[in-house]
Amino acid sequence: MRFENTTPAEISPPIRKLCRDAAGNAEPGYIPVRTGTETTGLTAVPGWAIWQCADALIEAEFHVAWRTSAGELVDIAARPGGEETILFVEDLRRGAATPDVDRERRALRRDPLIEDFITLGRKQFLLMQADQAADPALLRRLAVSQLIVKNMLERGLGGEDPCLCNSGKRYKNCHGKAVRSLRV
Ligand SMILES: [Zn+2]
């Protein structure tokens, strides 16, 4: 299983709920990606890009799309996965100049490793937002934990399995413990 974000194949009930939670609007739609489009004459439309990571979690990422003079909504950001469409929900309560907001993340099944992955994402966001320059050692530890959790999820492993850092301990007693101690 590849553990990476892609455009969801369908607008499932959990996605509608995520859209309501993030945008107060449960009507997302697929919009085309037109990388390199000039924004002159286009109108910025604040909202959220919706991503699905395998069968593990869904995320809403604050994002600005653009409306053309013909009324079509388009995305102009290059996507790492090369997506030609993204799922987008408008958020009329926000301005396009909204400062960084964290992603809204929801687990699609009960799995302590997915919960840990979500916790690490939130913690990383909070560290990057902190007024003081984030502690590089802490950021590095966080990145290592993220990589371990991601690799364990990709291999279908659980908390009882040996931690991938090769400590010889079970994940839940090794990096799982480290993640729990980071919870805010
Ligand atoms: Zn470990």
Q: How far is the CA of 166 from the centre of ligand 1 (A)?
A: 7
Residue 152, phi then psi, degrees to nearest 5: -65, -40
Q: How far is the CA of 169 from the centre of ligand 1 (A)?
A: 7
Q: How far is the CA of 180 from the centre of ligand 1 (A)?
A: 13
Q: Which two tokens stand for residue 177?
A: 């413990």
Q: What is the pLDDT of residue 168?
A: 96
Q: How far is the CA of 120 from the centre of ligand 1 (A)?
A: 15
Nearest to 53 by CA among 110, 104, 8, 102: 8
Nearest to 121 by CA among 56, 25, 45, 27: 56
Q: Report CA 2 to chain centroid distance, whole Å.
A: 15
- Amino acid identity of residue 100, one-letter, is D
Q: What is the pLDDT of residue 136?
A: 81
* Non-local CB neighbours of 72 within 8 Å, separated by 6+ positions: none
Q: What is the pLDDT of residue 132?
A: 61
Q: How far is the CA of 173 from the centre of ligand 1 (A)?
A: 8
Render pLDDT for 1-54 as a digit per residue (tens, 0 to 9). Answer: 788 999 999 999 999 999 999 999 889 999 999 988 888 899 999 999 999 999
- The one-digit pLDDT tens for each residue of the chain (184 residues) are 788 999 999 999 999 999 999 999 889 999 999 988 888 899 999 999 999 999 999 999 999 999 999 999 999 988 878 889 999 999 988 877 766 899 999 999 999 999 999 999 999 888 888 766 667 888 888 999 999 999 999 999 999 999 999 999 999 999 999 888 875 4
pTM of the full predicted structure?
0.90
Nearest to 60 by CA among 68, 69, 51: 51
Q: What is the pLDDT of residue 28?
A: 97
Distance (Å) of CA 31 to CA 64, 86, 89, 154: 12, 6, 10, 29
Q: How far is the CA of 151 from the centre of ligand 1 (A)?
A: 12
> CA–CA separation, 49 vs 7, rounded Å?
9
